[in-house]
Amino acid sequence: MSRAFPERTLEIEGQTYRLVLDINAQALLEDKLSTPKDEVVFQTVAQKAIEGSVRHARWLFWASLQRYHSDITPERAGDLMSAASDAPGALSGALSETRPDEADVKALGVKKSRPRKAPTA
């Protein structure tokens, strides 16, 4: 049932970059953005990036580069995003691979949860 997180490649300014948003990248992102008072989870960052937050998109892009390009800073990741017209597509593709495979979910018998009403006082 397990699957590897596919890598995406992106050509920027004549150099090829490899992006992957695997579990290690997701945990690194959470570690980087969390504080003792505010626990940040990967899904929140991803959702905010999808909703248009450039800051969160840059952090995701940075995290996706860390496996193969660990010397890249968040600021350099932003520069690379600005230089690459297809960076949003590559990031979107990498993000889509973080969702669980529907066949795995079905095989495990996981049912989609519905929002519940908060208990009343």
- How far apart are alpha carbons 60 and 26 in whole angstroms? 8
Return the bridge partners of 8, or none. 19
> How confident is the model over 18-32, as pLDDT tens digits?
999 999 999 999 999
Contacts of 81 (CB under 8 A, 6+ apart): 57, 58, 61, 87, 88
- DSSP strand E in 27-98: where? none
> How confident is the model over 7-61, as pLDDT tens digits?
889 999 999 999 999 999 999 999 999 999 999 999 999 999 989 999 999 999 9
- How far apart are alpha carbons 10 and 64 in whole angstroms? 11
Q: What is the largest CA-CA distance in the chain?
A: 61
> Is the entire prediction scored with pTM above 0.85?
no
Spans of all domains in the chain: 8-98
